[in-house]
Chain A
């Protein structure tokens, strides 16, 4: 919830004229996340067999990683006042191209799998950064609304991905890639989880402790005011899109490692789910607000719901419907 609302609450409390209902209405945005979370936990514990077990909850945590990373990038773009609908296709393009590059290099240099893996990762991250740069350039310099810019780019990149892959999975990645980044453990913790934790901390530090973070909030809060304070707003917006692109690419790489193949259709649900994770976490689509750890919880909530519905064996369609409904519900609550 925003500070503005906190203030209103404090002011009204001083008057002592606040009923419980008023409190709920005023705090509704802050309440929605914990309420939904508890509702999901209790509901699924009762209704879904095997839900409330350590194994399953760890499973949820593991599954959350991929969406988590995309949501963190989405968060930065949303705070700056943008929106990135192309995160899914960035993951797909990254998966396909880095898989192709790794397969080709591995065939040529089978004795140096780690060099191949590192180059593959570099290629993937570069793809994410490049698409982010294009998105940012279109949004900040050409002033195309981010919604249209990233929607258009989604189509461009999806077509490009299909063109490159021919729509079939790409094999031939060095097994070391999957062993390390798909199924590997470090100090007993899965490697993807470690990557996600590092990125959560990185985003938190970036947003809360650095000048760039302040600029991100300022640009999203009022782009004109930021400009008049000497902030190079275009650069901030472009950097935000690059971060979202790179984070989507990292998810693309981790999914590739998990699947051991380059896949065209790995990211279809990512745009909606990442936006939903942020909106449930109280991030305003108008920009200027959003907290890292709330988005972490929002992401886990979405995966939790999917997992619970899965265990209740309601099927994937119902799960898709539920995520959409949660997004709409969260938007309804966030209106001013």
Chain B
């Protein structure tokens, strides 16, 4: 049934698309559908999960993965469709109901109390009681330590959760789910913020749980994890289950299944002619900021027509580096040259004037005034530096500028008057990117330019970057999406703990080698 949509030969077209006839599934999902108004987040998904199998869900942001697992975990109720587990047939009405069947989920949003210690968080809700009915903190510590040892994580039970790194918090969250061995464990991108060492520990843990017969739903964007951990992979795209293939399926095939198009259709050809150095960063160090490693000793150059990618974990300092070029961070040492001239920027206004544009990663908090019309957002900086600059607005000129800007990012012109908040992630991102064209700039810094943007909207964004290159701009591309970095960059720099620790040229791009440098 679903296999009809799958083009690859590698697809196993067995019963219900599952390569495991014989064994009884632990949990079956039938016709699961979730609608939000007119939006179908998940359309009629059928899947089965077997004990002792690691089932990888693979898909873009917004493809329906999160909706799927939230319904399996009982956090969200389907519009139609049901689950079958034991003698239960129907949706889970609550997380507690899912738990009563042994279904536990570790989501990307944590449910930890930051003020409490690791041990207190791990026993939260089931605190051990000692003499006189008082809480027994020794017993809590002992239980927590046993759990941590069992998981093989590097974690102290007495640490305060709020002071831990995101990776360590992730482990506590996993620990909470494993207090009682679950029958079905859902892990939503568990390694996204783990160090290599802890990721290894997690892999071992997953393999041990698998041997114990736990069914595991594993969401990841990392190809090598699919091959290492997975038994089968289900691909979701635009709310539809595209199919289920063995985990040994090739990377490119998986990406093409995920995106529904060939790689060459997504990324524009690279610009071959590089010009002068437009952005030069020399020995740059930044003032320490809470929560991020101190960026120091950064040297890099970006030429006209070139995209230099910056990869690294969340919180490795890559965003801070981009922000420093935009007057948002205090520089303690070194210098930034734009077009050969020293950049002195204490405010984004100074940087824009010098020809730098920075597009922030968090478009909702940093990028757009969501309550204001899309057009007003686009032209805001142009009112000071662009062709429409002036104390008084120039409605006619502004209208023609907005038409031009919309065209260059493929944004629908008739909808310019609607508030930015009413658009999908992709169109919001286009508004954000169009802002960069409202005035001339020579250096563009894109921080996560496609986060939360579905594959359908991405080619327009990539074409926009290619057009910038042709016009002689230099682009610094900061991204967590490796396939995007591989597809677009001329060179790739990896940052770790605030420093650039390696550089890859195009022919050296390899996911495994690059990821190794993340840690």
Residues of A within 8 A of B491 (CB): none
Interface centre among A15, A224, A225, A226, by most chain B C-beta atoms within 10 angstroms, is A225
Residues of B within 8 A of A225 (CB): 366-369, 377
B130 at the interface (CB under 8 A from A): no
A227 at the interface (CB under 8 A from B): yes
A214 at the interface (CB under 8 A from B): yes
Indicate if the CB atoms of B419 and A229 lie closer than 8 Å.
no
Indicate if the CB atoms of A228 and B419 lie closer than 8 Å.
no
Indicate if the CB atoms of A230 and B371 lie closer than 8 Å.
no
Q: Which of A82-90, A191-199, A205-213, A297-305 contacts B (4 or more CB under 8 A)?
A: A205-213
Indicate if the CB atoms of A230 and B369 lie closer than 8 Å.
no
Give A213's nearest chain B residue, CB to CB.
B393
Question: In chain A, residues 235-293, which have Cβ atoms closer than 8 Å to a Cβ of chain B?
Answer: 284, 288-289
Indicate if the CB atoms of A218 and B372 lie closer than 8 Å.
yes
Residues of A within 8 A of B372 (CB): 3, 217-218, 221, 288
Partner of B380, one of A2, A208, A214: A214
B370 at the interface (CB under 8 A from A): yes
Give B385's nearest chain A residue, CB to CB.
A230
Q: A210-B393, A228-B358 are in contact. Are A221 and B369 (CB under 8 A)?
A: yes
CA distance A288 to B421 in the complex (A): 13
- In whole Å, how far is A228's beta carbon from the nearest beta carbon of chain B? 5
Partner of B390, one of A7, A211, A224, A231: A211
CA distance A226 to B352 in the complex (A): 13
Residues of A within 8 A of B352 (CB): 230
Residues of B within 8 A of A231 (CB): 349, 380-381, 384
Bits for B404-418, please: 1 = Cβ < 8 Å to A, else 0: 000000000000011
Residues of B within 8 A of A213 (CB): 393
Q: List 20 A-B contacts (CB under 8 A).
A: A4-B370, A6-B418, A7-B419, A209-B393, A211-B390, A211-B392, A212-B391, A213-B393, A214-B376, A214-B393, A218-B372, A221-B370, A222-B368, A228-B348, A228-B360, A229-B435, A230-B347, A230-B381, A230-B385, A288-B369
Give B422's nearest chain A residue, CB to CB.
A7
Give B381's nearest chain A residue, CB to CB.
A229
Q: Which 6 A-B pairs have the closest CB atoms?
A: A221-B369, A7-B422, A3-B419, A222-B369, A230-B349, A229-B381
Known A4-B419, A210-B392; further 9 A-B contacts with Cβ < 8 A: A8-B422, A218-B372, A221-B369, A221-B370, A222-B369, A228-B326, A230-B349, A230-B385, A231-B384
CA distance A229 to B382 in the complex (A): 9
Residues of B within 8 A of A212 (CB): 391
Partner of B392, one of A4, A7, A209, A224: A209
Interface centre among A3, A7, A8, by most chain B C-beta atoms within 10 angstroms, is A3
B interface list, Cβ under 8 A from A: 38, 326, 328, 347-349, 351-353, 358, 360, 365-373, 376-377, 380-381, 383-385, 390-393, 417-419, 421-422, 435
Interface size class on chain A is 20 to 34
Indicate if the CB atoms of B391 and A210 lie closer than 8 Å.
yes
- In whole Å, how far is A219's beta carbon from the nearest beta carbon of chain B? 9
CA distance A211 to B417 in the complex (A): 18
Interface centre among B347, B366, B383, by most chain A C-beta atoms within 10 angstroms, is B383
Residues of A within 8 A of B391 (CB): 210-212
CA distance A6 to B365 in the complex (A): 22
Indicate if the CB atoms of A3 and B381 lie closer than 8 Å.
no
Residues of B within 8 A of A215 (CB): 380, 383
Partner of B422, one of A4, A221, A226: A4
A232 at the interface (CB under 8 A from B): yes
- In whole Å, how far is B441's beta carbon from the nearest beta carbon of chain A? 11
CA distance A258 to B263 in the complex (A): 76
Indicate if the CB atoms of A218 and B371 lie closer than 8 Å.
no
Indicate if the CB atoms of B383 and A217 lie closer than 8 Å.
no
Indicate if the CB atoms of A217 and B422 lie closer than 8 Å.
no
CA distance A116 to B349 in the complex (A): 44
Residues of B within 8 A of A229 (CB): 348, 380-381, 435
CA distance A289 to B349 in the complex (A): 24
CA distance A8 to B384 in the complex (A): 32
CA distance A8 to B37 in the complex (A): 11
Q: A214-B376, A230-B348, A230-B352 are in contact. Are A3 and B390 (CB under 8 A)?
A: no
- In whole Å, how far is A141's beta carbon from the nearest beta carbon of chain B? 14
Q: A212-B391, A225-B367, A228-B360 are in contact. Are A3 and B373 (CB under 8 A)?
A: yes
Indicate if the CB atoms of B371 and A289 lie closer than 8 Å.
yes
Bits for A34-71, please: 1 = Cβ < 8 Å to B, else 0: 00000000000000000000000000000000000000
Indicate if the CB atoms of B371 and A226 lie closer than 8 Å.
no
- In whole Å, how far is B428's beta carbon from the nearest beta carbon of chain A? 11
CA distance A226 to B381 in the complex (A): 8
- In whole Å, how far is A71's beta carbon from the nearest beta carbon of chain B? 21
CA distance A59 to B391 in the complex (A): 38
Q: A214-B393, A232-B347 are in contact. Are A226 and B380 (CB under 8 A)?
A: yes
Residues of A within 8 A of B384 (CB): 211, 230-231
Residues of A within 8 A of B365 (CB): 222, 224
CA distance A117 to B235 in the complex (A): 79
Give A3's nearest chain B residue, CB to CB.
B419
CA distance A15 to B39 in the complex (A): 12
- In whole Å, how far is B33's beta carbon from the nearest beta carbon of chain A? 18
- In whole Å, how far is A8's beta carbon from the nearest beta carbon of chain B? 7
Give A288's nearest chain B residue, CB to CB.
B371
Indicate if the CB atoms of B393 and A3 lie closer than 8 Å.
no
Give A4's nearest chain B residue, CB to CB.
B419
CA distance A7 to B427 in the complex (A): 15
Residues of A within 8 A of B358 (CB): 228
Indicate if the CB atoms of A4 and B371 lie closer than 8 Å.
yes
CA distance A15 to B35 in the complex (A): 14
- In whole Å, how far is A307's beta carbon from the nearest beta carbon of chain B? 34
- In whole Å, how far is B106's beta carbon from the nearest beta carbon of chain A? 31
- In whole Å, how far is A86's beta carbon from the nearest beta carbon of chain B? 26
CA distance A288 to B370 in the complex (A): 9
CA distance A231 to B382 in the complex (A): 11
CA distance A2 to B420 in the complex (A): 11
- In whole Å, how far is A192's beta carbon from the nearest beta carbon of chain B? 29
- In whole Å, how far is A240's beta carbon from the nearest beta carbon of chain B? 16
CA distance A220 to B369 in the complex (A): 8
Residues of B within 8 A of A284 (CB): 371
Indicate if the CB atoms of A2 and B371 lie closer than 8 Å.
yes
CA distance A8 to B418 in the complex (A): 10
Give B436's nearest chain A residue, CB to CB.
A229
Residues of B within 8 A of A289 (CB): 371
Indicate if the CB atoms of A7 and B418 lie closer than 8 Å.
yes
- In whole Å, how far is A322's beta carbon from the nearest beta carbon of chain B? 30
- In whole Å, how far is B483's beta carbon from the nearest beta carbon of chain A? 27
